[in-house]
Amino acid sequence: MDSYSQVIYDAVEAAKKSVVKIERLVSLNNKKTVKGSGSGFFFSSDGYLFTNSHVVHDAPELRVVLYDGSRHVAALAGEDPDTDLAILKIHDAVDFQAAQLGDIRDVKIGQLVIAIGNPLGFQHTVTAGVISALGRTLHSQSGKTIDNIIQTDAALNPGNSGGPLIDYRGYVIGVNTATIAGAQGLCFAISINTAKDIAEELIRYGKVKRAYLGLILQQIELVPRLREIHQLKNKTALFISGVEENSPAARAGILEGDIIISFNDQAILTSDELFRMLKKDRIGSFQYLGIIRNNRKIELRVTPAERRA
């Protein structure tokens, strides 16, 4: 086996037993029938697993098919449509392994990634590609924006949703979530760092309460000249490619084309860092955004609002 194939094989071997098929069950003529399916993966030894909210939302009953083919009833522990994430819990499964979770801060554009899932019902399908971009913003099915999205050209199809995007070690770096209809090589995954933060809230409270600004963001690299002029430690920052109407950001005077470099005097390198700072205790209180606009550094005061379901 060549070295490239060996890397993919080893990564899949490390992660495959954590990946499951999720089936939505409905009752027809007093018989349970599968109507729709997706993917998911275990992330804890006590039976919690990640999937997408759109895979499980409003499902009358959920069943999970493990790697060994065994089937188990799953309970919804909580979901967050705004990030398209959901947590399921299985009580009676024994023969599975929890996936190793990585860190998006260690991920680089161009590195090898692998997706495992159940596209169109074909269980445990493997595809490979590279990280095409980091820090993307994507609209969820609830209409809200999801920050710190990973873009990859690893092929995803209906049924891949909720499965893991793994690195060369088999560590999960993202939760596969979407493709662009009619496009090729434009596939997206939710950052595992975002997923970990959401999981903590869902397991504890069953829902997520958060502040929001109303920005469409893209992570960019700051050119050395700009860093030198403004004496910035940031190597990356957040380019604002859109501002929602009547949002806290719009009311604060934030404009499309601005670059966010700090939040309350803390350097911001990724949208995931900004996301983590927008906790529920920030709602309704003044916060300060450091901005570069037309090569000038300014500070704007913004009051985050509660993101409504």
Instruction: Give per-residue pLDDT as tens, 243-283.
Output: 999 999 999 999 999 999 999 999 998 887 887 788 778 88
Q: Which CATH architecture has domain 211-306?
A: Roll (2.30)
List the Cα angle 70/39/119 in 5-degree steps: 105
Active-site residue list: 54, 84, 161
Decide whether 16-89 matches 104-205 in CATH topology.
yes
Q: Domain extents for the chain?
A: 16-89, 104-205, 211-306
Cβ-contact 283, 303 below 8 angstroms:
no
**How much of the chain, in percent, has pLDDT values that exceed 90?**
61
Burial of 181 (0-12, 13-18, 19+ CB in 10 A): exposed
Q: Which CATH superfamily is domain 16-89 in?
A: Trypsin-like serine proteases (2.40.10.10)
For the stretch 2-23, pLDDT in tens is: 999 999 999 999 999 999 999 9
The pLDDT score that the predictor gives to residue 27 is 84
* CATH number assigned to the domain covering 104-205: 2.40.10.10
CA distance 104 to 74: 28
In this model, does residue 78 exceed pLDDT 60?
A: yes
CA 88-93-96 angle, 5° bins? 90
Tell me which residue of 242, 240, 270 sits closest to 106, measured CA to CA. 270
Distance between CA atoms of 101 and 145, rounded to whole angstroms?
Answer: 24
| pLDDT at residue 28, rounded to an integer | 82
Q: Which residue has the tokens 């949208």?
A: 271
Question: Could you tell me which residues come within 8 angstroms of residue 82 by beta carbon, excluding any fewer than 6 positions away?
Answer: 140, 142, 144, 146, 208, 210, 307, 309
